[in-house]
């Protein structure tokens, strides 16, 4: 009787509040898309608080049941709980990454501690755990489906990972750790966004813009205009006469990739390339209010303590225990082989670039001294010149064939050929920003697959990079309705400028195919339970669908489907297609090395046992350790090694730690890790901690899988439908390797990655 009264009260509150807070009730919008224009910043905090209260009551009701625990009355019941919270977080955390206004950032800062406490309350509840454990212990003998067993195991392991088996004092400390980590990780991301937005390079004369193509300059002029920097204002800022501002200027370049990458690729002004590089590579390491070094140490200290509480030597050991790789040693061995192959090839690439730099010295374009050697700020510029010399490929001649809308049309066309999907532009739906576009995705029988939103252009409120997120997960509701997902693809592509459309680089084109591979994983999901549907898979499996989808981007028959000149409509000529294909393995030494170096850096941070090291350790700082601190060990390839002999302990210096680790593995001076410690958002904010290796791990799978497509035909319907049925539709409902072998017919060939990158 009491529970019925409680839930009746909640229902009445929801009915009375649904007109006030749009996050409470079901949305009367096309396809249940959130009514973004009706949701205020205040709506989120209100809805989160109420959603927490609602789900807590639902969990209490599960615990209070008199009936013995079963999958349906415990595991499935929990899956169906927390609807308001799911709905709210689906909207909030998508916008927190893609349109994080200062007001929304403040909301997130208030919400995160509430959500962390709520999660701890659920997964440290011994009475709820007792019911889950009862189902878990009999899972193999209860007639459960494979998906139900996977879901039960996932929920059970979540309790263990949250410390349900710890004593009361340890649980209290675990709650503190989780709360502090959530806050620190959010601060790390906010600092990085602020650092990226703060820097800009203002150019006004011909020497500063030397080498930059017209399209790049048009975008930079538009950037200046958007910032309100006129010729007069530029002259004032630089202390020059207004007449000294070159016609067409001023130009502004930023650290956002669509601005930074073209500048580093084409600018012949070496001094300015170095300035841009140093600004980019020092983000979070400038000794200001956005410095992330102390944040990194605090995060790692808490992760180390959490791992110890749960019985692991290192955070890596804890994190990898339920991944495909299983152990840090397996990851270390995997990365070592790939890094060695990559850095060997990179050495050859340096030699090719140095020849061109030497020619520049001979031509008087550079001084003839010890500085005329390839440095990290030279790589993109001279690599592009090598590419033009070796493969006669000029990206500025290619970009007109890669208008953003045409590339997206090609992405959709490939999905139609492979999986029978159709895409319809939706013009009258709620959207959270004017840059966003929406599409209805249907199957070959015209049934709804899901809704796709695309958000492709950079802005100051959007973090860098590209990603896929879910506003709504796919699941089967309690009454049997197949809830179709709402998926968002987000990127930071080159914006339209000076009356020209957005023209993508080859890298941006590959990125669109990549993120759409994630979207397919979410859209095509056919699972019963949301916690194992779509991309809810292990971190080292999640990149398989995205990376596999990239393989179609530059196939000749695919290019013929979408690569058309934005002015003439001419299909990309065979000569350019040949150049693109021939250059497919170009610069792979660099690409492999910087990626593998970042993955190794991630592992080394998470293979430390403490943030305090002996004072004679090469990466010890001058800050003394507190009394009672334990000295750090580094556990690599399963072997524990001491880091010094002194009994005096000091705090780790994050910059020196990175430098030492990269020197130890043999990273050459011309390359830095793809992400340095203080702006490594993947591992200190976005859930890839001790998991960045997953991109390379999944690439073994994706290249091995694509070899099957190549052998049978890249649009072979039998292969495509097997991949759809066995992987894309299955989410995390079965063991990843079981799913892969079911599709491929065998275990993956580890050599496929090296063959694809030309490193074998």
Per-residue model confidence as pLDDT tens digits over 140-189: 999 999 999 999 999 999 999 999 999 999 999 999 999 999 999 999 99
pLDDT at site 3: 40
What angle do the packed helices 41-64 and 83-98 form, to 10 degrees?
Answer: 140
Rounded CA-CA distance 31/101 in Å is 27
Q: Are 566 and 350 in contact (CB under 8 A)?
A: no
Parallel, antiparallel or unpaired: strands 448-455 and 200-203:
unpaired
Q: Which residues, 6+ apart, have CB-to-CB distance to 695 below 8 Å?
A: 543, 547, 595, 599
**Catalytic residue check, 384:** no
DSSP bridge partners of 168: none
Rounded CA-CA distance 639/634 in Å is 8
CB-count burial class (<10 Å; 0-12, 13-18, 19+) for 370: exposed
Judged by phi (left if over 0) then psi (alpha if -120 to 50, else beta), residue 228 lies in left
- Ranges under pLDDT 50 in the chain: 1-12, 14-16
Q: Are 680 and 189 in contact (CB under 8 A)?
A: no
Q: Are 314 and 607 in contact (CB under 8 A)?
A: yes
520-542: per-residue pLDDT in tens? 999 999 999 999 999 999 999 99
Tell me the three state secondary structure of residue 552. Answer: coil
Judged by phi (left if over 0) then psi (alpha if -120 to 50, else beta), residue 308 lies in alpha
Closest CA to 421 of 448, 393, 460, 383: 448
Which residue segments constitute the domains of the chain, with CATH numbers given? 2-165 (1.10.1370.40), 199-281 (no CATH), 293-369+590-684 (no CATH), 398-577 (1.10.1370.40), 694-756 (no CATH)
pLDDT at site 19: 59
Q: Which residues, 6+ apart, have CB-to-CB distance to 261 below 8 Å?
A: 380, 505, 507
Rounded CA-CA distance 258/614 in Å is 43
Q: Which of 384, 515, 550, 670 is catalytic?
A: 515
Strand order in the sheet with 486-490: 422-426, 437-442, 448-455, 486-490, 467-472
Q: Are 206 and 216 in contact (CB under 8 A)?
A: no
Q: Which residue has the tokens 């489907």?
A: 561
Rounded CA-CA distance 704/701 in Å is 5
Q: Which residue has the tokens 């091995």?
A: 704
Parallel, antiparallel or unpaired: strands 200-203 and 422-426:
unpaired
Q: Are 600 and 661 in contact (CB under 8 A)?
A: yes
Segment holding 184, helix H or strand E:
helix 168-198
Rounded CA-CA distance 600/142 in Å is 43
Which two tokens mark 459?
């802005």
Closest CA to 449 of 352, 520, 353, 390: 520
Q: Which residues, 6+ apart, have CB-to-CB distance to 649 below 8 Å?
A: 612, 613, 614, 615, 624, 625, 629, 631
DSSP bridge partners of 470: 487
Number of helical H runs and strand E runs in the chain: 29, 14
Segment holding 480, helix H or strand E:
none
Q: What value does the mean pLDDT of the chain take?
A: 95
Q: Are 285 and 607 in contact (CB under 8 A)?
A: no
pLDDT at site 370: 82
Q: Are 474 and 485 in contact (CB under 8 A)?
A: yes
Please confirm whether the linkage preceding 330 is cis (ω < 30° from 0): no
Parallel, antiparallel or unpaired: strands 422-426 and 437-442:
antiparallel
CA–chain centroid gap for 387, Å, is 28
Closest CA to 404 of 511, 306, 479: 511
pLDDT at site 191: 96
Q: Are 70 and 62 in contact (CB under 8 A)?
A: no
Segment holding 225, helix H or strand E:
helix 214-226
Rounded CA-CA distance 507/510 in Å is 5
Q: Which residues, 6+ apart, have CB-to-CB distance to 738 below 8 Å?
A: none
Q: Which residue has the tokens 């249940």?
A: 32
Task: Count CB-CB contacts under 10 A for residue 180.
Answer: 16
Rounded CA-CA distance 253/258 in Å is 9
**What string of DSSP letters covers 615-680?**
TTSTTEEEEEPPTTPPPPEEEETTEEEE--S-SSEEEE-HHHHHHHHHHHHT--TT---SS-GGG-
pLDDT at site 1: 34
Rounded CA-CA distance 54/351 in Å is 64
CA dihedral 404, 406, 408, 411 (to 10 degrees): -140
Q: Which residue has the tokens 């993947």?
A: 682
Parallel, antiparallel or unpaired: strands 486-490 and 467-472:
antiparallel
Q: DSSP strand E in 372-466: where?
A: 422-426, 437-442, 448-455
Q: Which 8-state DSSP code applies to residue 407?
A: H
| H-state helical runs in 443-530 | 506-523
Parallel, antiparallel or unpaired: strands 437-442 and 448-455:
antiparallel
Rounded CA-CA distance 299/177 in Å is 9
Q: Which residues, 6+ apart, have CB-to-CB distance to 623 below 8 Å?
A: 650, 651
Task: Count CB-CB contacts under 10 A for residue 210.
Answer: 12
Tell me the three state secondary structure of residue 234. Answer: helix
């Amino acid at each position: 009787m009491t529970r019925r009264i409680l839930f009746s009260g909640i229902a009445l509150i929801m009915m009375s509040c649904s007109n006030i807070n749009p996050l409470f009730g079901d949305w009367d919008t096309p396809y249940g898309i959130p009514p973004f224009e009706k949701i205020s910043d205040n709506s989120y905090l209100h809805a989160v608080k109420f959603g927490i209260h609602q789900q807590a009551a639902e969990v209490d009701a599960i615990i209070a049941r008199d009936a013995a625990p079963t999958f349906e009355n415990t595991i499935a019941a929990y899956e169906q709980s927390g609807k308001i919270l799911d709905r709210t977080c689906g909207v909030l955390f998508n916008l927190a990454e893609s349109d994080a206004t200062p007001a929304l950032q403040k909301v997130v800062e208030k919400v995160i501690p509430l959500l962390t406490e709520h999660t701890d309350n659920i997964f440290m509840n011994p009475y709820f755990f007792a019911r889950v454990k009862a189902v878990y212990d009999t899972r193999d003998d209860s007639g459960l489906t494979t998906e139900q067993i996977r879901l039960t195991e996932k929920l059970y392991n979540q309790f263990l990972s949250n410390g349900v088996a710890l004593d009361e004092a340890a649980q209290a400390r675990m709650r503190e750790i989780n709360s502090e980590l959530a806050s620190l990780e959010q601060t790390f991301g906010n600092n990085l966004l602020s650092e990226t937005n703060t820097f800009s390079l203002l150019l006004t004369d011909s020497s500063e813009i030397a080498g930059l193509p017209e399209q790049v300059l048009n975008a930079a002029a538009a950037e200046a205009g958007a910032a309100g920097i006129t010729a007069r204002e530029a002259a004032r800022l630089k202390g020059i006469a207004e007449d000294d501002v070159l016609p067409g200027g001023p130009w502004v370049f930023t650290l956002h990739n669509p601005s930074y990458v073209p500048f580093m690729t084409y600018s012949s002004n070496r001094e300015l390339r170095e300035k841009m590089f140093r600004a980019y590579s020092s983000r979070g390491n400038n000794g200001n209010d956005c410095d992330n070094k102390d944040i990194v140490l605090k995060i790692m200290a808490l992760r180390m303590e959490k791992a110890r509480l749960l019985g692991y030597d290192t955070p890596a050991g804890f994190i990898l225990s339920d991944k495909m790789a299983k152990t840090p040693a397996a990851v270390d061995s995997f990365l070592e082989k790939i890094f060695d192959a990559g850095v060997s090839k990179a050495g050859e690439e340096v030699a090719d670039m140095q020849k061109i730099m030497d020619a520049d010295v001979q031509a008087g374009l550079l001084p003839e001294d010890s500085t005329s050697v390839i440095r990290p700020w030279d790589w993109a510029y001279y690599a592009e010149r090598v590419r033009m010399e070796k493969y006669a490929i000029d990206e500025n001649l290619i970009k007109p064939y890669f208008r953003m809308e045409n590339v997206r049309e090609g992405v959709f066309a490939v999905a139609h050929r492979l999986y029978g999907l159709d895409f319809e532009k939706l013009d009258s739906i709620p959207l959270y920003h004017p840059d966003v576009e929406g599409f209805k995705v249907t199957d070959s029988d015209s049934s709804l697959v899901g809704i796709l939103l695309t958000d492709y252009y950079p802005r100051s409120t959007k973090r860098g990079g590209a990603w896929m997120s879910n506003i709504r997960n796919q699941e089967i509701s309690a009454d049997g309705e197949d809830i179709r997902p709402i998926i968002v693809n987000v990127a930071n592509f080159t914006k339209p400028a000076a009356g020209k459309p957005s023209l993508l680089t080859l890298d941006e084109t590959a990125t669109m195919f990549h993120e759409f591979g994630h979207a397919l994983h979410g859209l095509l999901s056919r699972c019963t339970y949301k916690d194992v549907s779509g991309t809810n898979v292990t971190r080292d499996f999640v990149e398989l669908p995205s990376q596999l989808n990239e393989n179609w981007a530059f196939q000749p028959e695919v290019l013929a489907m979408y690569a058309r000149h934005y002015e003439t409509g001419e299909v990309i000529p065979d000569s350019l297609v040949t150049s693109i294909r021939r250059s497919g393995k170009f610069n792979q030494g660099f690409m492999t090395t910087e990626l593998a170096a970042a993955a190794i850096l991630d592992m080394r941070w998470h293979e430390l046992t403490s943030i305090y090291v002996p004072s004679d350790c090469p990466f010890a700082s001058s800050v003394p350790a507190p009394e009672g601190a334990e000295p750090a060990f580094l556990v690599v390839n399963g072997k524990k090694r001491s880091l010094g002999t002194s009994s005096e302990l000091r705090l780790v210096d994050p910059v020196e730690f990175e430098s030492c680790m990269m020197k130890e593995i043999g990273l050459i001076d011309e390359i830095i890790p793809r992400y340095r410690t203080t702006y490594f958002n993947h591992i200190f904010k976005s859930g890839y901690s001790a998991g960045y290796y997953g991109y390379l791990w999944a690439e073994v799978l994706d290249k091995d899988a694509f070899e099957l497509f190549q052998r049978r035909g890249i649009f072979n319907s039998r292969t495509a439908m097997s991949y759809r049925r066995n992987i894309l539709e299955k989410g995390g409902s079965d063991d990843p390797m079981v799913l892969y072998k079911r599709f491929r017919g065998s275990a993956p060939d580890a050599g496929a990655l090296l063959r694809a990158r030309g490193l074998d």
